[in-house]
Structure 1
Amino acid sequence: MQRLANKRIILGIGGGIAAYKGAELVRRLKDLGADVRVVMTRSAQEFITPLTLQALSGHPVHLDLLDPAAEAAMGHIELARWADLVLVAPATAEIMARLAQGNANDLLTTLVLATDAPVALAPAMNQAMWRDPATQHNAQVLTQRGVRLFGPAAGSQACGDIGPGRMLEPDQLAQHAAECFESGLLTGKHVLVTAGPTREAIDPVRYITNHSSGKMGFAVARAAAEAGARVTLVSGPVQLATPERVDRINVTSAREMLLACESAMPCDILIATAAVADFRPELPAEHKLKKDPGSADGMLLQLVRNPDILASLAQRNDRPFSVGFAAETQHLLDYAAGKLRDKNLDLIVANDVSNSSIGFDSEENAITVIDRSHRQTHFAQTSKSKIANQLIGLIHQYLNKDEP
């Protein structure tokens, strides 16, 4: 159940009597570490109030497709991108029919069509409605499109009937939601991830660094752990919480990062996302440097080259499957391909940091992955957590010699 830690789940609530279970479902998902945003249809509000779900989720409940206030904050497209899973519970016969037809006439159905996250439905309806050929046809259409169906269960119903159509209980739905993330793609593998910037001291109070926040590397470490790997994360100075089930080593300088990585070897996979400083001051001052009042020309700082961490690890006799990141502002693919070759890598991830929406310290990313055969795989702009999951999936394919 730890698989739900830090997961972003949209809970869509349809208009059926089982909507009252939405309150307990939100609580269970939250208890298991998920961040939950609730979307309600108009009819759902007749069974349970948005205020109740807002209090439990800790976020405003999303109600209308054309809500000016909502669009000014987290619009429906941003909400669709935000989700790691969209769970509709209860999913009425009417909701299933609209989704099977590709109908997007309210916020919930629009989100389902707009998201690239997994979608799951928890059917809840009268047993006769569930057995009706039209509903069964819609269920078959949706499952063929990759939509997961959680249930329904059989038993007594609010109308007095007995049979299939009951929505699963919140504990069961939370378990099914967790299973959506149990990939096991890297079970038994040791993954070494570098993340964040390095700091190279000029004197005791000044240093050379860069704008890297470490968010992409931490997302990769989290995705690798969720895929079943044993993960070692070597991080420069960042303000980020350590992902669940990840062993973290904090470092400051490039030389410290190299030593930490070497101590973590051997590993099966190296994913180097860190923005390592290429140069460091040759002789850091022991005391704070002072301005020379007799000089108007500034100060000369002599720099020397830092060790190339990625190249060093990728050229070892026990080299792992090596994945590098190329953060560039121009000639992105050309520079990335050069690094792939020069550093003896298996894959290089090209990241255009001149674009502020996917650059340093952003919440989203868009990448192009290049392999030794110059084949390119592009992942469109979305959250860094999703990019990380997609990258782990691609690495798994290469490790198993499948076609990406």
Structure 2
Amino acid sequence: MRVLHIVPSLNLSHGGPSRSVVALTDHLAEEHGINISLLSASDSSCSVVESHSSVISINVQPGNILDRYFFLCIRSYLRSIPRVSHPDLVHIHGVWHPACHWGASFARTFGIPYVIQPRGMLEPWPLAHKKAKKSLAMLLYQRKDLYACSAFVATASQEADNIRRLGFSKPIVTIPNGVESFAPFNPTLRDFNKSIRTALFMSRLHVKKGVIELVEAWSAIRPVGWRLRIVGPDDGGHRAAIIKRISQLGVSDVVDLVDEAKGSQRVHEYMSAHLFILPTYSENFGMVIAEALSLGLPVLTTNAAPWGSIQSHQCGWWIEPGLDSLLHMLPVALATEGRELELMSMRARQLAKEFDWVTVAKDMKHFYSDLLANYKYAVATEIDNK
């Protein structure tokens, strides 16, 4: 089985999708022997997530200004693939981006089935963000790409429901992301009874992540015995707005804002914290939540992320998005006794075990096999009926 995965970028600054796509393709190649090619147009001047398997990684670079806007380099590469080397299936990660469109167009041209994994880009908040631009894209190419796909891949039932509400009738399979394997967890490395504890936000610094609302809530509450640590790469210039708000509120003495953490530094950030906070307005999965849970961090996030299980497993708080909810629930989380946080930490690690990459890759492989079998049957039936 040959599968071509297409993702606009594998740069670390693009957050969870970069890491999860590489992890998925690595496991599919190594554990199931699938011939995987991974095509992207990552910025070669910035750090990228590296594959550590037999995956064939192809990174094409835009040339002139027109190419950088429309990513014609992706189209050119796809057109250069000899027919004998065409994939059996194309798996597209994301929507709106030209790279995703060229992947769908290539698949349709040569009669190759393709699946779209929207990666949260069809959720209500992203659809409303820059709505005019997306409405134009939907009119020009995106609607056709979505309606013509063979199936959708959602990472949670919440995302699957939102895709269906948009009127798409193609099959939707729900397969979550997995959690990367970290070094063996040592619970003694974290002291929940420290005199000064750390609440950690670690994600892209994007307006949808609710970082400014978190800073405003922190300023209003002024919790004793806690510091807030904000870690992540800038996205769309939002870092400047966060710095300005921290200065306006006069909380720079209790709020740290640092650049993105990579590799072992990410593990260090998680292990040095006592509570993880992601006050997001939209999340199709939330890789950082899964990572935080796997390293024993209680989590406070919103119901815009599909993590109601943290509430049912008693390892965190699941609230409405927005400042008012933070003002109501953040003091409760910060007032939790050390012993209860330790128990929540144990339950968090137990919940994270449900998101194992080996199981995720196995489910994806079965999905591919079923889809290709049904596609071949449909093609054979169509030929017989002619």
Normalised by the length of structure 1, the TM-score is 0.34
Higher share of residues assigned helix: 2
Larger Rg, first or second structure (1 or 2): 1
- Structure with greater contact order relative to length (CA < 8 Å, sep ≥ 6): 2
